[in-house]
């Protein structure tokens, strides 16, 4: 399962969908719908890594 997540085009939505199955008792169809919705939504922030001073 790990490589399929990290090599995904959208690893964060994939992780969130898997989490919904494991911790949220979602079924596969529900998790897939969540995945598709997460892929459509914008990231919560435009945060960029802090540069070292």
Q: What is the pLDDT of residue 1?
A: 74
pLDDT tens-place string over residues 18-43: 999 999 999 999 999 999 999 998 66
Nearest to 35 by CA among 2, 53, 3, 9: 9
Domain ranges (residues) in the chain? 2-40
pTM over 0.85: no
Backbone angles phi, psi at 31, to 5 degrees: -65, -40
Q: pLDDT averaged over the chain?
A: 86
Q: How confident is the model at residue 48 (pLDDT cuts 50, 70, 90)?
A: low
CA distance 14 to 35: 6
């Amino acid at each position: 399962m790990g490589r399929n997540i990290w090599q995904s085009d959208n690893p964060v939505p994939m992780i969130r969908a898997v989490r919904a199955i494991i911790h949220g008792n979602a079924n596969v169809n529900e998790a897939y719908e969540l995945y598709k919705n997460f892929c459509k939504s914008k990231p919560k922030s435009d945060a960029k890594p802090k540069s070292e001073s």
